[in-house]
């Protein structure tokens, strides 16, 4: 079969590498890819945001399965467009991808489905936001609504720091800000394959998001991961699956916004159990680079079987991986 991978970064490189190992796959296209992926497939010179051109390409070249890397392309509706044309694509529609593209939307769903997460309020007004922060005290977390590539979050350890983040956020016209309770604990990333009903967790990883040595820099999209994470045992993973990932997937399906694709939970293990920091609508980056090399099973077969409601059992290499962003 022919597989198209959409994206151009390390995550898509890791996906392409795993896809290439599949016995089912004869040809791989990567749009646009990067020069480091040249030996994995044919690089197609279509920017990832040009979803109609990508759909034209997939149609013309009889692509059997498309796998999408980045969130902005999902938010633009690539899955809607491919499915409208009757093509198979693994990823959520733009409606479902809103769990990542709007922090407020994600928070509302979590509340509705009883998924554990920090307390929050949404603000569109600087003055009210500052009052709320002064009332709640630090540490406190300021999150701009919308896709920010991991850069819209400030974990403020003092009130002035929080106010500065609010001032910056509200300097953008019509901005919306979620102010959230600070969750103290041990953070990990869990990514599951889901068709909206069945939720298959992959092995977990721990991301390191702050730049500079000793975590002294600002938050980034991720500076490096390792996998597996010994501190998180199978009991905690089961709790994450039962309390967070399954209720989210099944709640969304019931609400008519079924989520198919990589459901990514950023989870904090707190003294009161697992709580959700965020959901993403795609594989993590650099999580993909750390997790996928450990997968021994056929990745493409797993995705196809899941999309066809067949059983999926994944086998993993128990050795450790470390992925560093340089
Ligand atoms: P996000 O973009 O939501 O993943 O946030 C980026 C990073 O900020 C997360 O990976 C956490 O390390 C940190 N963070 C976000 N929300 C919280 C929270 N409520 N409590 C503590 N840390 C948080
Ligand atoms: N590394 C975190 C993310 O992909 O959002």
Q: Which residues pair with residue 5 across a beta bridge?
A: 30, 67
What are the pLDDT digits (tens) for 214-238? 888 877 878 899 999 999 999 999 9
pLDDT digits (tens, 9 = 90+) for 149-161: 656 789 999 999 9
Please give the Cα distance from 153 to 110 (Å, whole number).
19
Model confidence pLDDT, tens digit, residues 63-102: 999 999 999 999 999 999 999 999 999 999 999 999 998 8
Average pLDDT on 303-315 reads 97
Q: Which domains does the chain have, with CATH numbers?
A: 2-90 (3.40.50.20), 119-181 (3.30.1490.20), 184-324 (3.30.470.20)
The CA distance from 311 to 195, in Å, is 12
With a 6 A CB cut-off, is 222 part of the ligand 2 pocket?
Answer: yes
Cis peptide before 68 (omega within 30 of 0): no
Q: Radius of gyration (Cα) for the chain, nearest Å? A: 20
Exposure of 56 in the CB half-sphere (CA atoms within 13 A):
7
Look at residue 31 in the predicted model and tell me its pLDDT: 98
Tens digits of residue pLDDT in 25-68: 999 999 999 999 999 999 999 999 999 999 999 999 999 999 99
- pLDDT at 150 (0 to 100): 56
Instruction: Look at the pTM and tell me if it is higher than 0.75.
Output: yes
pLDDT in tens, 233-253: 999 999 999 999 999 999 999
pLDDT at 152: 79
Which ligand 2 atom lies nearest to the CA of residue 284? 4
Of 20, 47, 25, the C-alpha closest to 34 is 47
Question: How much is the pLDDT for 183?
Answer: 97
Characterize 178-190 residue by residue with b for buried, 16 or more Cβ atoms within 10 angstroms of its Cβ, and e for exposed. bbbeebeeebbbb
Spatial distance between the Cα atoms of 146 and 133, rounded to a whole number of angstroms: 21
Q: pLDDT over 90 for what percent of the chain?
A: 88
Could you tell me if the CB of 69 is within 6 A of ligand 2?
no
- What number does the ligand 1 atom closest to the CA of 152 have? 2
Q: What is the pLDDT of residues 113-153, one digit of tens each?
A: 999 999 999 999 999 999 999 999 999 999 988 766 656 78
**DSSP per-residue string spanning 172-199:** STT--EEEEEPPPSEEEEEEEEESSS-E
Residue 109 CA to ligand 1 center (angstroms) comes to 18
The confidence band for 7, taking pLDDT boundaries of 50, 70 and 90, is very high
Give residue 188 CA to ligand 2 midpoint distance, Å: 11
């Amino acid at each position: 079969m022919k597989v198209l991978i959409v994206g151009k970064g390390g995550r898509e490189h890791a996906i392409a590498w795993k896809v290439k190992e599949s016995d089912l796959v004869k040809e791989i296209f990567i749009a646009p890819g990067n020069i480091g992926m040249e030996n994995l497939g044919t690089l197609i010179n279509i920017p990832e945001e040009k979803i109609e051109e990508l759909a034209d390409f997939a149609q013309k070249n009889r692509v059997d399965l498309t796998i999408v890397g980045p969130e902005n392309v999902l938010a633009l509706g690539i899955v809607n467009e491919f499915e409208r044309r009757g093509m198979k694509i693994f990823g959520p529609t733009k409606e479902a991808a809103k769990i990542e593209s709007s922090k407020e939307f994600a928070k509302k769903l979590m509340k509705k489905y009883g998924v554990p997460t920090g307390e929050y309020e949404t603000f569109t007004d600087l003055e009210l936001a500052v009052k709320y922060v002064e009332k709640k005290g630090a540490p406190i977390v300021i999150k701009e609504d919308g896709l920010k590539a991991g850069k819209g979050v400030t974990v403020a350890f003092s009130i002035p720091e929080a106010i500065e983040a609010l001032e910056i956020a509200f300097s953008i016209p019509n901005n919306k800000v979620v102010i959230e309770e600070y969750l103290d604990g041990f953070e990990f990333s869990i990514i599951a394959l889901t068709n909206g009903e069945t939720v298959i967790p992959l092995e977990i990883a721990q991301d390191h998001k702050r730049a500079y040595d000793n975590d002294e820099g600002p938050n980034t999209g991720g500076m490096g991961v390792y996998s597996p994470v010994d501190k998180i045992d199978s009991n905690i993973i089961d709790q994450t699956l039962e309390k967070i990932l399954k209720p989210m997937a099944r709640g969304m399906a019931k609400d008519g916004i079924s989520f198919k694709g990589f459901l990514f939970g950023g989870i904090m293990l707190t003294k009161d159990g697992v709580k959700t920091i965020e959901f993403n609508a795609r594989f993590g980056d650099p999580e993909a680079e750390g997790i996928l090399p450990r997968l021994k099973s056929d990745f493409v077969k797993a995705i196809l079987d899941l999309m066809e409601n067949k059983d999926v059992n994944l086998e993993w290499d128990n050795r450790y991986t470390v992925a560093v962003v340089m």
